[in-house]
Structure 1
Amino acid sequence: MIPQSDIEMADEELEAVALPSKTYRLDLVNKRISSQTIDGLEAIKQVVFKILSTTRFEHLIYSNDFGNEVDLSANRGRSVFESEVERWVEEALTQDDRITAVTSFKFAYELDNALINFTVESEFGRYQETKELANGV
């Protein structure tokens, strides 16, 4: 017997609602997760830090979309290195739906270290981020 129902389904479309980006604050000094919550641009800054500090596919707790795939093992020239780093960072960060673009990459070098400065654009605003890569060049 097939169940019967008198309920009519509405043909109207549901409105997409933006969910809050609220998350727990990381206490990097004490290496703890705080009971305080953060939202907006502050939450974006924290997720950028987490993504750039996490190797993709290495931790089962994260989905396959979380983290970065930076590979510094090959010896490349600076132009190839810069192009690859831009691609790696942009691919890693734009997996988060709140981040709309990663732009304005600038590189500075000292011995084998590279200091990368870039702009993160999100639905909550934009800010400058800096990341140091050791043995990168």
Structure 2
Amino acid sequence: MALIPDMSLDIGGAVVDVQTAEKWPSKTYVMDIDGERIVGTMTDEIEAVKQAIYKILNTERFRYPIYSWNYGVELADLFGKPIAYVLPEIPRRIKEALVADDRIIDVTAFELSHDKRGNVLAKFKVITIFGNFDAGKAVKI
């Protein structure tokens, strides 16, 4: 998001700049996730948000200095923790990571399942400014 100066106002001898927030486009290159490459075509809106979710949920927060501390999800420290602790934490952490993107309004309707080998599958609904869709994330604990 960029702040664009609109005008200056003189209020009692003080000059105040009035600015409006302008949304940047969400246009990005298409990711071929299975082929692990970037395709030369472009995507926008809901498909770009889906790619952003994939990238956010597969980037551990605070691990890579190239990313802002606001980017990514904190799941690595859940490894080895009791399932009773992990199950309520996963939805909170996923939601916190995703709503940092200003195109994502909310993350709701979590459904969690787990097996005896420590695999947790989280399914959820993502509400965006472009529309809603279902998403998921598998976590090994």
TM-score by length of structure 2 reads 0.80
RMSD: 1.7
In the alignment, the residues of structure 1 paired with residue 42 and residue 22 of structure 2 have an alpha-carbon distance, to the nearest angstrom, of: 21
In terms of fraction of residues, the more strand-rich structure is 2
> What pairs up with 1:1-137 in 2 under 5 angstroms?
10-11=8-9, 13-70=18-75, 71-78=77-84, 80-111=85-116, 112-134=118-140, 136=141
> Offset of 1:74 from its aligned partner?
4.4
Give the % identical residues: 37
Structure 2 counterpart of 1:3? none
Structure 1 residues 89 and 47: CA distance shift in structure 2, 3 A: same
* Helix, strand or coil at the partner of 1:16: strand
For 1:10, the aligned partner's letter is S
Q: Deviation string for 1:88-112 (max 9, x for gaps)?
A: 1011111111111110000112222
For 1:133, the aligned partner's letter is V
In the alignment, the residues of structure 1 paired with residue 114 and residue 63 of structure 2 have an alpha-carbon distance, to the nearest angstrom, of: 28
In the alignment, the residues of structure 2 paired with residue 49 and residue 126 of structure 1 have an alpha-carbon distance, to the nearest angstrom, of: 15
For 2:129, the aligned partner's letter is E
In the alignment, the residues of structure 1 paired with residue 79 and residue 44 of structure 2 have an alpha-carbon distance, to the nearest angstrom, of: 36
In structure 1, the gaps of 5 or more residues are 1-8
In the alignment, the residues of structure 2 paired with residue 30 and residue 94 of structure 1 have an alpha-carbon distance, to the nearest angstrom, of: 28
In the alignment, the residues of structure 1 paired with residue 98 and residue 23 of structure 2 have an alpha-carbon distance, to the nearest angstrom, of: 19
Q: Which has the higher contact order (CA 8 A, sep 6+)?
A: 1
Between structure 1 and structure 2, the one with the greater Rg is 1
